[in-house]
Each structure stands twice: as C-alpha cells, then as structure tokens.
Amino acid sequence: MGVNRKRAKFYIYFFLIFTLLFVTVSNDVQAAPSVSSQRAILMDQETGRILYEKDAHTQSRIASITKIMTAILAVESGKMDQEVTVSSNAAGTEGSSLYLKAGEKIKLEDLVYGLMLRSGNDAAVAIAEFVGGSLDGFVYMMNEKANEIGMENTHFSNPHGLDDHKDHYSTAYDMAILTRYSMENGEYKEIAGTKVHTAPNPEEKWDRKWKNKNRLLTELYKHSTGGKTGYTKLAKRTLVSTASKDGENLIAVTLNGPDDWNDHIGMFEYGFKNYDYKIALEKGKIEKMDDKVYKGHAYLKRESILTLTDEEVKEVKVEYKMLKPKKEWLKNQDVPEVVGKAIVYLGNEKVDTLPIYYEASSEEKKEKSWWKFWAYSFESIIGVKDNG
C-alpha cells in the first residue's frame, strides 16, 4: 500500500507540474488562429508583411468585395461631387440594391457610400457607366489598376462581383494588396469606415439612410476600421476588413468563410498580440560609418520599419554597401547623390533596402519621426558591417 501511495503522489505531482508549464507557455505564445474560411490572409497595412495565410494565392470568385476596386476608382476620378444620371441598365441590376430609379440624379459620392455600406449592385453599374464611360470601359480601368498595384492573379469582368462571368476572380493576397492601396486614400478610408450614411431621396420627403452591412464595424469588434462584405451562391461568403489597435493597422481577407466574423476577429487578435512595429534603421545621419569620406555625410531619407515578434528582433541584421570613394570626394566635389544602400535582413531574408544619400553640409537634421512616439527602436542590438 505504501508503494502505491508513493506512486500516486508522484503522478499527481508530475501532472501538476506539466499543467503549470502548459498554462505558462500558452499565456506567452498564442498559436496561429483557427480559420474556417477556405482561403485567408492577415497582412500588416504599414509594412505589407504577411502575418498569417491559408491558401492565399489561389484564384477564387470574390463576390462583392470586388466593389473595393469600384470604390477606389470612383474616389480617384475626382468627380465625387458631380451628379450621376442613373441609367435603366443600372436601375435594373439584379441582387442587392439601393433601389435606384432610371433617370434619377444622385451624387457620385452618395453612390459610393451606397456601394460600400449596402453593397448596391445598381450603384456599381451607375458608377461604372459614369466613371468609365461604359461598363466595358470601366472594367478596362479596373484591370489596369490591378496590374499597376501588383494584383498578379486577378481579373475583373464586372464592377459588382455577381457570378455573370467565369473569368472574374482574385486571391486573398491580391485583395489584401488592393485594400492596402485603397486605405492610403483618406476619402476611401472614411467611406469604408462609416457606419451610417444618409443621402437625398428625390422620390420621398425623407432621406435615404444606409447602415453598413459590416457587423465587425457596427457591433462585433471595437478595433474595426472598415471593410467590405460579399456573398454569391458560387463564391459563398467573402469578407475584407481592417482594424487598428495601439497604432498598429492590419488587413484581413477571407474567401468562402462560413464563420468569417470570428475568423477575422481571431486573426486580428493573433496579429495584435504577437506582432509590433520595430525601427530597424532611423532616418538621418548614419553614425556607424568609419570611412572618412562618408562619416558625417551619409544619411537615410526614411526609416526602415518592420513588423516583428519580440523573438524576431535578434534575427535582424543590417548591411551597408557603399560606392568606392574617389579622392575628389574628400573635398565634397562631384559626389553622387546616392552613394550606397542599406540592406535589412530578417534571418537570411532580405526585407528592406534603403538608398544611402550623401549630404555635403555637416549640419545634422533635427527632425524626428512620429514613429518614435510608439514604435520600439532597437538599433543598438542590430549587427552592422560595412562593405566597399
């Protein structure tokens, strides 16, 4: 009996120690999120780094998240304050609708709000006809913009995302690229993050009132800053959303996601908990230059900002590659504007490259970056070496 009791005590002790270790590790490191969606991605908006992905480069139907491209083209047209006459073709568009009537006049700005908040397919066609001159003209603009911003696995065939063409598709990654580009535009950002918008109604005494369909923004997630919902029978549920917390801005995309609201919340929480912005290199004079030609003159025009976990900080290295100096450069004569480059590595991967400029004046710039108010600088622990 004594031996059995000792064994029982040992197993209980072992179990308690194991449980304690498991809980401690679980609190320190959050595993990658569980995502119901067939395809998904989480991207940092500022740096473009992919923080999580699941089959993110496979071409898929995308439904109404198509309208992000329609909206940004409308915003960039410079015609937002102009009136659009709704055609019978636009008014008769199937699916989700603003119930526009043929012949009515409505500002392009209001159409874009209706497009993004209520996913009006009639608004999409009206916008396309007005901005592109015709549906075909606007689709051409959509694909030109996609090529311009690097959406390599995308092809648009309509402005709304309805399943009326086989060759209308994109990927989770490409839609994150589009959203990152669009969020740089202040007007688009404001529209995508609006919960309720009112617009004049020519047929009634009261205004139209449109509430955003994005429940992350309106009720489910306090850090949500906008996005676009989508659904068709073939594409199933699609969702693009953005979120910000403590200065960190993230983009999430899911395609064919039966539980997409929770998918996005889970991805955002994973990103906010595990990643933060770090300053790899500060802009201004490069203090670690030993060559007398470059010392006090070589500088960077921008910071290198990375999205990293705390564990990844020690994996960052910086390599300076400089032009071989000429004798006349000692007298500040005929020195080229760019005299080298700073290459930032995360492990063995090259993650950023900055041109190094030469400044003849010895005065140091006093301007400080706004990033320093909240990003962590770790320049002192970065490995640095000079190369001629």
Query: 363: burial class by Cβ within 10 Å (0-12, 13-18, 19+)?
Result: exposed
Kindly provide the b/e burial profile for residues 136-161, where b requires at least 16 CB atoms within 10 angstroms of the residue's own CB: eebbebbeebbeeeebeebebbbbbb
Query: Computed over its alpha carbons, how large is the radius of gyration of the chain?
Result: 27
Q: Which residues contact 168 (CB under 8 A, 6 or more apart)?
A: 61, 62, 66, 155, 156, 157, 158, 161
Pick left, alpha or beta for residue 85 (phi over 0 → left; psi -120 to 50 → alpha; otherwise beta). Answer: beta
CA atoms in the 13 A half-sphere facing the CB of 132 = 25
**Residues present in the chain in total:** 388
Q: Are strands 316-322 and 383-387 parallel, antiparallel or unpaired?
A: parallel
Given the residues 96, 119, 170, 241, select the one marked as catalytic: 119
Given the residues 37, 54, 60, 64, select the one marked as catalytic: 64
Closest CA to 83 of 70, 99, 100, 95: 100
Q: Are 159 and 127 in contact (CB under 8 A)?
A: yes
Alpha carbon 315 to chain centroid, angstroms: 24
Given the residues 37, 54, 60, 67, select the one marked as catalytic: 67
Q: Write out the two tokens for 47.
A: 């740096």
67 classed as catalytic:
yes
Closest CA to 213 of 236, 189, 231, 232: 231
64 classed as catalytic:
yes
Catalytic (active-site) positions: 64, 67, 119
